[in-house]
Structures are given as structure tokens and as C-alpha cells.
Amino acid sequence: MTEVKALLEQFVELYGGESSNPVRAFHAPGRVNLIGEHTDYNGGYVFPAALTFGTTMLIRKREDDQVGFASTNFPLRKHISIQQVEFRAEDDWINYPKGIIRELQKRGLSVGGYDILYSGAIPNGSGLSSSASIEVVTAYGLLTMEGQPTDKVEIALLSQKAENEFIGVQCGIMDQFAVAMGKKEHAILLMCDTLEYKHVPFASGEYKLVIGNTNKKRGLVDSAYNERRSQCEQAVKYLAAEYPELTLLGQLSLEQYRSAQHLIPDETVRKRAQHVVEEIDRVLQSIEVLQRGDLAAFGRLMIGSHNSLRDLYEVTGVELDTMVEAALAVPGVLGSRMTGAGFGGCTVSLVHQDSVERFVGEVGRVYKEKTGLTADFYVCDIGNGVEELRL
Ligand code: ADP
Ligand code: MG
């Protein structure tokens, strides 16, 4: 039995099988950023890809104004009236889909009653964007059920708005965009500012993307993130002496930056700026080498990215550094780097398929020895963005 058929059985057990309305199934993936870290808020490129695992949503119309929420990942389940969609701390995970309903209502859509069951395969809070996944699948599913247009860029934007305003997390657009717009065997070159994007073939051939979860809680991340952002703004102010029109670091080419970097008197600020400008350049080089099918060159760019995040941007930490170092010691590994905001969360590595088993064993063992933490590994393919599944 397929997973979605098994989920359908759970749905019927939970909500009954008497309704004459059909159950429909939708899926949105998780995502991983392959390169281009801390570039988004600097007007630079990111390069995320959708994963083949994500969040499945089964949904069936009800004849009243109640919405039933249940998830195989959390015990809390309840029905609420569609007229009373408000943030409540005790509603925990249900606030994510409620935020989407609220956002649809704010746009003038009168959402009907539904029974909904989610099932997620993404570890929560590890930087693979389970939140964007549940948001986007909910928005896409509800709009489809209501017979409304399902423009995926619009869905990404409304999902980001729900996370910003209803949940209160100030995330950028990358996660929701990748989850909505992903394409099998392609990564997405995205300019977060303008939403200009391009699907770039990522034919990894005999190589697999392996995500390693450090399982380290990302405690430092908020304050350090804000500090990095303000250091980038400071850098822009210094560089404006030479480039008066400059508003974001991403507007400078590498050459322009290099000829003006002496204007930044503070060494820390200079290091932050250098990371941003060089990282954007690495993203553009990545597109070039991938178009030639040169995976080894892409692997070297991943390593360069990690080293820069470690030495210049200083957002890695012992767990991420240990995991990347252990990864690069395994034969058949082309590249490895932290992915996400840093200080914890995940690494992504490009590993030859014959080395994957050895990779998981050795990296897991070394990581445990050096940090005392147990890592989890996910061998990934690049999948599609949000879509309806056939039941
Ligand atoms: P990340 O997006 O990095 O995984 P977040 O803290 O942003 O971490 O979002 C995780 C939260 O999203 C979970 O704690 C839960 O509230 C909600 N969520 C994600 N997936 C599901 C799911 N399958 N079922 C219910 N809630 C989910
Ligand atoms: Mg999230």
C-alpha cells in the first residue's frame, strides 16, 4: 500500500467514511539551500532545491463551517469555526494552517468547512523548512478545493506573509518560494528581492545530496542573525563614500568591492562584507560549472562557502564544522557545507552513491565522538514543488 493510501485509511478512521464528498491529497516538499548563505537580505542570490520528502495533506469538504485539524506528527487535534481563526498559543502547530486561512480570508476568500489530516516527513526545526511546507501545502490545497487560481509565486508570498504576521517569524521568501516552485532535478537560482528566478538543471548523476542534521539547538541564531544584518548595513554606509547609490551589498560586483574595501575601517564588518560579495559570486560560478556538468567544481564552491561562513561570517560553530570536516575526510565526497542560518541545523554534502553508506557511518561516528550528539542523515533527491497527488 502506498503511503498516501495508508494515510487515507487514517483519515477515514479519524473523520468517518460517510461523507459523499471526495478526499483529495496534496503534497509540498521540504527544501535545502545548496549555496548562497546570508545573501538573501543583502540583495544577492540563493540557490535552493525542493526535496522529495515533505508534507502531505488530505482534505475533504464539510457541510458546516468547521475546520478539523489533525497531524500524524502531533497529538493535538481539534475543530474550529472558520469564523474564529485567531492565533492562540495553546493551538501550537495548528496556528500554521490557521495563519494561511486567515491570510486567504484577508484577501476576500470565504473559505468553507473542511476536515484536514497532515503527515510530515521533514524533521521540525532543523532548517529544512517544515513550516514553509505545511503553509504552502495548505494554501495550495485550500485554493484548489475552492476552485480558485493557484499561482505558485502568489502562494509563496501569502505563505511568507502568514509566517511573518500570524506566527511572528520574520523569515525571508526563499523557503516558501522553493517549496512552492521546486522542480524535479533542478535547483532554483532566486533573487529574493525581485523574485527573479531560473530553474537550473542539477544532474547529480552518480552523486547524492546527503543532508546531515547536527541536532544542535540553534540557540544563538536570533541575536547573531540581527547582528550580522546590521554589520552588512554598516558596510554599505562605509562603501557609499565610493558608491553613493549603493543600498545593498549585493549590488556590488566582486571587483567593485575589492577596489573599495579599504573604506571599511572595522575589520569585522569588512569580513562580513567580503563573505557576502564572494558568496554571491560563488552562486554565479555554481550556475556556470553546473551548466558544464562539472560537479567537482561545484563541490569546491560548496567547501569555499563553508570556509567563508566559518572564517569570515562566523556563523558555523563546532558542531557544523566537525560534521563538515568529517564529511570531507570520506572518499567520494565532492563538497560539504552548512546550510541555513548556521550555529546548528544541517549540513549538505555531495557524496558518490557508492560512498553513502560509509559516509553515514563514519560521519555519524566521528560527530558523536567529538560533540557527544547523535546526527541524523537524509539521502535526498531533488523533487517537485507543491502539487496535487492522485489518490
Ligand atoms: P523548520 O521550518 O525549520 O522545520 P519551524 O520551527 O519554522 O522549523 O517550523 C516547525 C513547526 O511547523 C512545527 O513545530 C509545527 O508547529 C509546524 N509543522 C511543520 N510540519 C508539520 C506537520 N506535518 N504537522 C503539524 N505541524 C507541522
Ligand atoms: Mg521554518
Q: Which residue puts its alpha carbon closest to atom 8 of ligand 1?
A: 125
Mean pLDDT of the chain: 96
Q: Is the pLDDT of residue 221 over 90?
A: no
Q: Which residue puts its alpha carbon closest to atom 24 of ligand 1?
A: 71
The crossing angle, in degrees rounded to 10, of helices 318-328 and 295-311 is 150
Residue 1, pLDDT score? 59
- The alpha helices in 166-266, defined as continuous H runs, are 174-181, 221-239, 254-260
**What separation in Å is there between the alpha carbon of 166 and the centre of ligand 2?**
13
Residue 127, pLDDT score? 82
% of the chain beyond a pLDDT of 70? 99
> Is ligand 1 within 6 A of the CB of residue 69?
no
Q: Is the pLDDT of residue 2 over 90?
A: no
Which helix (H) or strand (E) segment is 346 a member of?
strand 346-352
Burial of 338 (0-12, 13-18, 19+ CB in 10 A): buried
ipTM field = 0.99
Rounded alpha-carbon distances, angstroms, from residue 319 to 228, 270, 308: 20, 25, 16
Nearest atom in ligand 1 to 130's CA: 4
Between CA 227 and CA 213 the distance in angstroms is: 25
Asked whether residue 247 is marked as a ligand-binding residue, the answer is no
Bridge partners of 79? 68
pLDDT in tens, 300-350: 999 999 999 999 999 999 999 999 999 999 999 999 999 999 999 999 999
Mutation probe of ligand 1 site: the residue of 10, 134, 174 with most atoms within 8 A of C-beta:
134
Residue 223 confidence class, pLDDT cut points 50, 70, 90: confident
Catalytic residue IDs: 175
Q: Which residue puts its alpha carbon closest to atom 27 of ligand 1?
A: 93
Q: Which ligand is nearest to the CA of 75?
A: 1
3-state secondary structure of 113: coil
317 Rama class: left (phi>0) / alpha (psi -120 to 50) / beta: left
Q: Is the pLDDT of residue 25 over 90?
A: yes
